[in-house]
Structure 1
Amino acid sequence: MKVDSEKVKKVAVVGLSCLGDMLLASAALWNLRNFLPRAYFVVWVGPGGKAAVKDDPLWDEVRIYDKAGKYGGIRGRLRFIRELRDGGFDLIIDLRSTLVPLFSGCRYTPLWGLREFFLPKRIHEAERNLYAVSTLGVPILRRNLHFHVRKEDRERVSQVLKDVLQGRTFVMMNPGSRNPKKRLPVKLCAEVGKKLAEEHRALIGVIGYSEEERRDAQEVLEGLKPHCLDLSGPLALSLVGAYMERASLFVTGDTAAMHLASALGVPTVGVFGPSKPDRYGPWGNQHRVVLAPVPCAPCNDRGCVMGDDFRCLELVESQEVYGACAELLSQL
């Protein structure tokens, strides 16, 4: 199905509930928007993914698709289909790969899942999305992930770092994750951060959003004093992005923050255990992946053969992670 851009005045994008997945779709969505510059875009997105798009001037309207609220159950789905049919949309992109487009009343109703059916299973998620949008006749002009950082957040970060950097290399670190199986060991992060501070005069900014992530961040910060900056807490994603833009390096596990760093062009060391770096790793060329040294990794956390406690990340050596960091820093 090829889309005639002259016939598309209004577009519905049905996004995903996960922040990381929305960021992985951002390259495809940027190219779609560039292909349809005069169309009116309405983006529905789950509560967990809204931060990826809510401040972005690319989108004319952002609405929340809440499966636990008005769109829950059969009645909620029917309500959503009615809204689509009443909305006068010409094109619908459903990133969830559902059959909803068939009932939307749109002129163009591509099924996202079918478009990637013949792709290799090990292809990166960003690549899958780019391929799917290209089958609509959308030219792929850039392959970078995309995220909009607000001007006021950049100004705020400039003021903070002006007082604390003092010529040092700024490195950011994310030890935590909403998924306990993907959290980096505190000891690993502290050792890597300390080595970066000693060898590269680095100031380590440590992030952590949720309560559990903040606890991990605080433990890492304790081991890094005085070479650290506490960035833990529920910061707006744009503010985190503004700090990332100023960083020379980002160290993280498999998290949404990793994809944010990729979108902002920050060299990243991703430490992986159960999840698959070839499908979910940092997108781009200026990154490094450290994989847990066990034969079962990656397993995509479907069941642990090491006693069901996913200890693989505890076996990662800090020297290996530091080596990847030093390699990236040497290329700056």
Structure 2
Amino acid sequence: MAESAVPLRRALVIKLRHHGDVLLTGPVFSTLAAAHPGIEVDALLYHDTREMLTLHPHVAQVHTIGRDWRRLGPLAQLRRYWGLYRTLKARDYDLIVHLTDHWHGARLARLLRPRLAVAPAPGKGGRVADRWWRRSFDTLYPVVGGNRRHTVEIHLDALRRIGIQPTEATRPLRFAAGEAAEQRVAGLLATAGVQAPYLLIHPTSRWLFKTWPVARMAALIDALTTRGQTVVLSAAPAPAELAWIGDLNARLARPVAADLAGQLSLKELGALIAGAQAFIGVDSVPMHLAAAVGTPTVALFGPSGDIEWAPWQVPHRIVTEPVSCRPCGQDGCGGGKVSDCLTAITPERVLAALDALLAEPRQ
């Protein structure tokens, strides 16, 4: 379907997924802003993921749905959804871009009645639900799965389908930490006596089966500190991740320069990564934050797809083990929470990848 000749005044982009998925929608907003100067592009997200897009220069308003709404009673749910509907209806959208298969998008496309609505195509099962989905949107775009296309490109396919083409200027990720976050991080680093350059290592993920073995990470950090490099640690405040960091610190031959695990908001984590010489981590939200703030990245990939989720448009090195079954997308081999393709990666390979990355000329 070709793009409407009438300029778009206001659009809603819907992405009801996790933090990293939301951050990777940024180029959709930038591309719409470039294609239709003066357009206001809003986002509809889960409430806990809002910091991924707040302060983004091409996001006009961020509307949210609470993940806990489904646990409320029928009347409380109705009040919240009715309030959201009234807010969105008042915005009078010309375009809805729905980037997942979540049924909220189909319902809103029917209720809000934009001039144009685009969403991913369902499967070929021909079920009644699929037919209802297809009739909820004006046009559908194909989703290329199987670790064959980067997630950012799949998002942009929604716009390509309606005749809006991204440019090199609109394709990068963006993340705005904000002055308050930057000042707090600067204060924490100053208190710890950390000065640039420093390496930021975020070794964990909310899905621990994506995480490199703690003994191997300890060996890498010891190698870095032995040669005098300044290492800063971060991790989410989740109990399982903090326990993992505690185990890591207990194994180190010497302490890192600063351990900020569990102490940072998402905005503050972005500010910390932005100031780093390089980022080392696994397939996770912080890895995507590093890409969004332009920090060179070494990323370890195990069961997840490195083509689909690689650091986007930032100098990087991906370290994987060439085994025939990866990426399998499973929570460890046989569902056992331990991935052999990660445990086989050696500290020496990660160190070599970092050295090659740091030696790469910067523009």
Whether TM-score is above 0.5 comes out as: yes
How far the C-alpha of 1:219 sits from its partner, in A, is 2.8
In the alignment, the residues of structure 2 paired with residue 216 and residue 25 of structure 1 have an alpha-carbon distance, to the nearest angstrom, of 30
Partner of 2:247: 219
How far the C-alpha of 1:51 sits from its partner, in A, is 1.8
Q: In structure 1, the residue corresponding to 2:280 is in which secondary structure?
A: strand
Partner of 1:172: 200
Deviates more, 1:278-287 or 1:50-59: 50-59
Q: Does 2:168 correspond to 1:143?
A: no
Q: Residue type of the partner of 2:142?
A: F
Shift of the 227–67 alpha-carbon distance from structure 1 to 2, 3 Å rule, reads closer
How far the C-alpha of 1:172 sits from its partner, in A, is 0.8
Partner of 1:132: 158
In the alignment, the residues of structure 1 paired with residue 355 and residue 336 of structure 2 have an alpha-carbon distance, to the nearest angstrom, of 33
Partner of 1:56: 56
Q: In structure 2, the residue corresponding to 1:259 is in which secondary structure?
A: helix
Deviations 1:11-51 (A, max 9, x none): 22212230010112112222223334423333210134212
Shift of the 95–71 alpha-carbon distance from structure 1 to 2, 3 Å rule, reads farther
Shift of the 299–119 alpha-carbon distance from structure 1 to 2, 3 Å rule, reads closer
In the alignment, the residues of structure 1 paired with residue 143 and residue 24 of structure 2 have an alpha-carbon distance, to the nearest angstrom, of 20
In the alignment, the residues of structure 2 paired with residue 189 and residue 303 of structure 1 have an alpha-carbon distance, to the nearest angstrom, of 18
Q: In structure 2, the residue corresponding to 1:27 is in which secondary structure?
A: helix
Q: Residue type of the partner of 2:152?
A: A
Partner of 1:203: 230
Q: Does 2:92 correspond to 1:88?
A: yes
8 Å Cα contact 1:206/1:221 also seen in 2: no
In the alignment, the residues of structure 2 paired with residue 260 and residue 249 of structure 1 have an alpha-carbon distance, to the nearest angstrom, of 12
Deviations 1:185-241 (A, max 9, x none): 211211112212223x32111111122112222333341633331111151111111
| TM-score, with length taken from structure 2 | 0.80
Partner of 1:15: 15
Partner of 1:188: 216
8 Å Cα contact 1:176/1:208 also seen in 2: yes
Deviates more, 1:46-55 or 1:274-283: 46-55
Partner of 2:136: none
8 Å Cα contact 1:170/1:202 also seen in 2: yes
Partner of 1:254: 283
How far the C-alpha of 1:153 sits from its partner, in A, is 2.2
Q: Does 2:169 correspond to 1:117?
A: no
Deviations 1:104-159 (A, max 9, x none): 30011122447541746411111111232233324423321111120232233334
Deviates more, 1:26-35 or 1:155-164: 155-164
Q: Does 2:254 correspond to 1:229?
A: no
CA-atom RMSD, angstroms? 2.9
In the alignment, the residues of structure 1 paired with residue 256 and residue 248 of structure 2 have an alpha-carbon distance, to the nearest angstrom, of 11
In the alignment, the residues of structure 1 paired with residue 170 and residue 39 of structure 2 have an alpha-carbon distance, to the nearest angstrom, of 20
Q: Residue type of the partner of 2:54?
A: K
Q: Does 2:325 correspond to 1:296?
A: yes
Partner of 2:128: none
Partner of 1:152: 180
How far the C-alpha of 1:325 sits from its partner, in A, is 1.1
Q: Residue type of the partner of 2:293?
A: L
In the alignment, the residues of structure 2 paired with residue 263 and residue 57 of structure 1 have an alpha-carbon distance, to the nearest angstrom, of 13
Q: 1:314 aligns with which of 343, 346, 355?
A: 343
Deviates more, 1:16-25 or 1:276-285: 276-285
Partner of 1:244: 273
Deviates more, 1:217-226 or 1:277-286: 217-226
Q: In structure 2, the residue corresponding to 1:38 is in which secondary structure?
A: coil
In the alignment, the residues of structure 2 paired with residue 153 and residue 3 of structure 1 have an alpha-carbon distance, to the nearest angstrom, of 39
In the alignment, the residues of structure 1 paired with residue 22 and residue 73 of structure 2 have an alpha-carbon distance, to the nearest angstrom, of 23
Deviates more, 1:155-164 or 1:106-115: 155-164
In the alignment, the residues of structure 2 paired with residue 58 and residue 224 of structure 1 have an alpha-carbon distance, to the nearest angstrom, of 46
Q: In structure 2, the residue corresponding to 1:202 is in which secondary structure?
A: coil
In the alignment, the residues of structure 2 paired with residue 81 and residue 224 of structure 1 have an alpha-carbon distance, to the nearest angstrom, of 56
Shift of the 72–43 alpha-carbon distance from structure 1 to 2, 3 Å rule, reads farther
How far the C-alpha of 1:285 sits from its partner, in A, is 5.0
In the alignment, the residues of structure 2 paired with residue 157 and residue 78 of structure 1 have an alpha-carbon distance, to the nearest angstrom, of 37
Deviations 1:289-325 (A, max 9, x none): 11135432211117734x7343322222111111111
Counting matched residue pairs gives 329
5+ residue gaps in structure 2? 122-138
Partner of 1:99: 106
How far the C-alpha of 1:169 sits from its partner, in A, is 3.1
8 Å Cα contact 1:202/1:227 also seen in 2: no
Q: In structure 1, the residue corresponding to 2:177 is in which secondary structure?
A: coil
